[in-house]
Amino acid sequence: MRNLDRRQFVRATAAVAATGALAGCSGNGGGNGNGNGNGNGNGNGNGGSEGPEARAEAFVSDNEANLYEGSLEDMTGQDEVVIATGAGDNGFSFDPSGVVVSTGTNIVWEWTGNGGAHNVVSEDGSDYEFESELTDEEGYTEDVTVDETGAILYVCVPHRAQGMYGAVAAVDG
Ligand SMILES: [Cu+2]
């Protein structure tokens, strides 16, 4: 599912009808207060000033994702990409944790059985939204096909504090 939500600002035009002079009596005019109180500053959804790769990189970098070493792994041109879920020495990693794929790729998270129970849950700002089962079953899989360009930004909720984050950037080609 692709989240196309884009914040729209509805401007309350204060149509003050100041022109009714001919009506003689009146005196009361446009008392309508503008009602747009949306002061939220969440910066996503602005028409692509930052592409999927930049957003994916920033996400795993900012969250200090385990096994992320400063650049996304290029796995473009593949029909399917498997991300080990429960990788690394202690089983608290996604491997690869940061990856670039082509649109149309099926992303498969495959549980290793290590590190306890994991899940894969999209975070704010992700263009794809999903939540997997929470399980420790070796060989369990979840998958998402990325049909459009965008970033998948996700976390394993139980191991957030251990740095179990990951990101996928889906690009054309
Ligand atoms: Cu986990």
Tens digit of each residue's pLDDT (9 = 90 or more) over 57-98: 999 999 999 999 999 999 999 999 999 999 999 999 999 999
Mean pLDDT of 129-157: 97
The pLDDT value given to residue 49: 59
Q: In angstroms, what is the span from residue 162 Cα to ligand 1's centroid? A: 8
- Out of 3.10.20.600, 2.60.120.10, 2.60.40.420, 3.30.200.20, the CATH code matching 52-171 is 2.60.40.420
Distance 10 CA to ligand 1 centre (A): 41
Query: What is the identity of the amino acid at 98?
Result: G
> For ligand 1, a single-atom ion, which residues have Cβ within 5 Å?
118, 156, 159, 164
CA of 140 to the centre of ligand 1 (A): 13
Q: Which of 49, 52, 44, 65 is nearest to 154 (CA)?
A: 65
Domain limits, the chain: 52-171
Q: What is the pTM of this model?
A: 0.72
Which residue from 109, 76, 75, 73 is spatially nearest to 93, judged by alpha carbons?
109
Q: What is the pLDDT of residues 112-121, one digit of tens each?
A: 999 999 999 9
How far, in Å, is the centroid of ligand 1 from the Cα of 166? 11
What distance in angstroms lies between residue 116's CA and the mean position of ligand 1's atoms? 7
DSSP string computed for 37-99: -------TTSTTSS-HHHHHHHHHHHTT-TT--SS-EE-TT-SEEEEEEEESSSS-EEESSEE
Q: How far is the CA of 26 from the centre of ligand 1 (A)?
A: 68
Q: Residue 127 is encoded by which pair of tokens?
A: 């263009």
Report CA(39)–ligand 1 centroid distance (Å).
Answer: 35
68 Cα: distance to centroid of ligand 1 (angstroms): 16
Q: How many CB atoms within 10 Å of residue 87?
A: 21
Beta bridge partners of 93: 87
- Cα-flanking dihedrals φ and ψ of residue 27, to 5°? 100, -30
Specify the DSSP element, H or E, that contains 136. none
For residue range 40-62, list pLDDT tens digits in order: 444 444 444 589 999 999 999 99
CB 127 within 8 A of CB 3: yes
Q: Give the pair of three-digit tokens for residue 12.
A: 């309350």
Q: How far is the CA of 47 from the centre of ligand 1 (A)?
A: 32
